[in-house]
């Protein structure tokens, strides 16, 4: 049976999501925790909606895992809780404090945490007055020592929306495409903080932090408002685009279609994506 997990983590002390030999990762800790409470050997394999890099946080992460029905049914032990009620409590007892599983429940038919998703929503936090930064938020806010024109950043960000090839803002990976639909990208000042919201159907490696770096150059006055769009149109990485620090970035939520559309969405997302009128070259998947 397939289970859906909704969880959050502080990415500070993790080497990212993906399991790596000799490194502490979110996937590694969560897999070990599930294996322990389900008494599963071998450990179950997780599929996550979005892999995060080292230091990136998540408040609304989603994953799925396939388990034996008898293991799920046995999870409450001698308690009177249902498996769905017992799962987060049991996991809280074995997971480290920087991972919290909010819910575990049977997934509807056709659900795939990765391919059924319609969008991923990220937030990036900056403070351009470091002397005013709350030290309790230093793990989630990037201190920026130059004043920023947030209105110019927002204007530059808005020019990047739509279905485009984001190769200029992605680290290349063999076999991975770079065509994405940027659904929303905006900046605003909220008190002492500057908040960037970035939404897309999917993201490629380092895309969000590069998008932030591009508009930071505009906010500092070093580049014109149209410069990030010119970089995007050029279609190649520009050394003038900084990949911003990871700890300012957080995966806020992942959205899915109604249950009766999950399987269709997963089939669509697995298909190769190209820009209209462009011959396809390799896979371009979520």
To the query of whether residue 10 is one of the catalytic residues in this protein, the response is no
DSSP secondary-structure letter at 153?
H
**If 0-12 CB within 10 Å is exposed, 13-18 middle and 19+ buried, where does residue 143 land?**
middle
Question: Do the beta carbons of residue 134 and residue 193 sit within 8 Å?
Answer: no
**Residue 206 carries which DSSP code?**
T
Instruction: With H, G, I as helix, E, B as strand and everything else as coil, classify residue 209.
Output: helix
- Would you call 88 helix, strand, or coil by DSSP? helix
Which residue is catalytic, options 6, 53, 112, 199? 53
Q: What are phi and psi of 148, to 5 degrees?
A: -120, 140
- Residues 95/7, Cβ–Cβ less than 8 Å: no
Q: What does the DSSP assignment read for 189-258?
A: EETTEEEEEEEES---TTHHHHHHHHHHHHHTTSS-TTHHHHHHHHTS--TTS----GGGEEEEEEE---
- CB count within 10 Å of CB 97 equals 8
Residues serving a catalytic function are 53
């Amino acid at each position: 049976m397939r289970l859906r997990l909704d969880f959050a983590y502080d990415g500070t002390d993790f080497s990212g999501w993906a399991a790596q030999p000799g490194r502490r990762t979110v996937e590694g800790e969560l897999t070990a925790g599930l294996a322990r409470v389900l008494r599963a050997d071998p450990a179950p394999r997780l599929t996550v909606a979005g892999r995060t890099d080292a230091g990136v946080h998540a408040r609304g992460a989603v994953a799925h895992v396939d388990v034996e029905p008898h293991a799920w049914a046995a999870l409450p032990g001698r308690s009177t809780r249902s498996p769905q009620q017992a799962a987060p409590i049991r996991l809280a007892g074995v997971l480290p404090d920087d991972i919290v599983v909010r819910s575990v429940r049977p997934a509807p038919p056709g659900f795939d945490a990765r391919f059924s998703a319609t969008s991923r929503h990220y937030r990036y936090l900056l403070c351009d007055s470091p002397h005013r930064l709350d030290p309790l938020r230093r793990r989630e806010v990037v201190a920026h020592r130059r004043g920023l024109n947030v209105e110019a950043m927002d204007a530059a960000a808005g020019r990047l929306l739509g279905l485009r090839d984001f190769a200029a803002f992605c680290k290349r990976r063999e076999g991975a495409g770079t065509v994405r639909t940027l659904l929303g990208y905006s900046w605003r000042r909220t008190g002492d903080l500057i908040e960037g919201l970035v939404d897309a159907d999917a993201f490629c490696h380092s895309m969000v932090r590069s998008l932030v770096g591009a508009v930071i150059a505009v906010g500092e006055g070093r580049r014109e408002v149209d410069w990030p769009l010119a970089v995007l149109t050029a279609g190649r990485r520009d050394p003038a685009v900084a990949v911003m620090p990871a700890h300012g970035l957080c995966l806020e939520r992942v959205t899915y279609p109604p249950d009766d559309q999950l399987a269709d969405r997963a089939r669509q997302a697995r298909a190769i994506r190209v820009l209209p009128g462009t011959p396809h070259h390799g896979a371009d998947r979520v």
